[in-house]
């Protein structure tokens, strides 16, 4: 039968004992992890305050062009990876598209938005690459020389 407790009646103390050692502020490694100078130096070296422990390696988002998946599990895996890559984008970018990966993909795949992607920092301007023959021709031909063939324009 349960007993009703009355006001001002002494209460039995509950003691909790941990079998595993707990970390205290006196531990040297905990003090080191809390030091702002240590955290700042990690940010400069690794780009994160706690390298390898609380972070997972960042992957570069990439477009995947694949054929239709053979089964549902493969399709769900592709969608899951795409959503994970979208979630790695900065909050400002995700907020602009209302946290909707479909809207983001529509924006990115539209050729009219290339300049905007460069402004957002999601794309780089691709400069045309000169061939080796073009570079050699520029070195050999002085800049002041015209494109006339030898023997032309002489009287």
User: For the chain, which residues make up each domain, given as ranges?
Assistant: 14-57, 71-140
- The DSSP string of the chain is ---PPPTT----------SSPPP-TTSHHHHHHH-HHHHHHHHHHHSSSSTTTT------------PPPSSHHHHHHHHHHHHHHHHTS-HHHHHHTTT-HHHHHHHHH-GGGHHHHHHHTSS-PPPPPPPHHHHHHHHHS-TT--SPPTTTT--
- Per-residue pLDDT, 117: 85
The tens place of each residue's pLDDT in the chain, 155 residues long, gives: 677 878 888 877 777 776 766 666 666 666 777 788 887 887 777 766 666 655 555 555 566 666 677 788 888 888 888 888 888 888 888 888 898 888 988 898 888 988 888 888 788 877 777 777 777 788 887 655 555 555 555 54
The Cα–Cα gap between 117 and 64 comes to: 18
Reference 104, options 79, 85, 86; nearest CA is: 86
- Per-residue pLDDT, 120: 82
CB atoms within 10 A of CB 116: 13
- Per-residue pLDDT, 143: 58
pTM, two decimals, is 0.40
Mind spelling out the 3-state secondary structure of 80-109? HHHHHHHHCCCHHHHHHCCCCHHHHHHHHH
The Cα–Cα gap between 93 and 70 comes to: 32
- Per-residue pLDDT, 99: 87
For residues 118 and 125, is the Cβ–Cβ distance under 8 A? yes
- Per-residue pLDDT, 153: 52
């Amino acid at each position: 039968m349960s007993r009703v407790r009355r006001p001002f009646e002494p209460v039995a103390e509950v003691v909790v004992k941990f079998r595993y050692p707990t970390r205290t502020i006196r531990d040297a490694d905990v003090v080191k992890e809390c030091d702002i100078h240590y955290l700042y130096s990690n940010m400069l070296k690794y780009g994160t305050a706690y390298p390898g422990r609380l972070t997972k390696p960042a992957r570069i988002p990439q477009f995947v062009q694949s054929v239709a998946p053979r089964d549902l599990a493969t399709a769900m895996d592709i969608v899951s990876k795409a959503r994970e890559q979208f979630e790695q984008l900065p909050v400002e970018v995700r907020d602009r598209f209302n946290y909707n990966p479909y809207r983001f993909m529509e924006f990115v795949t539209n050729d009219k938005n290339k300049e905007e992607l460069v402004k957002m920092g999601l794309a780089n301007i691709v400069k045309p690459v000169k061939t080796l023959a073009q570079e050699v021709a520029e070195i050999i031909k002085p800049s002041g020389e015209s494109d006339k063939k030898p023997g032309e324009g002489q009287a």
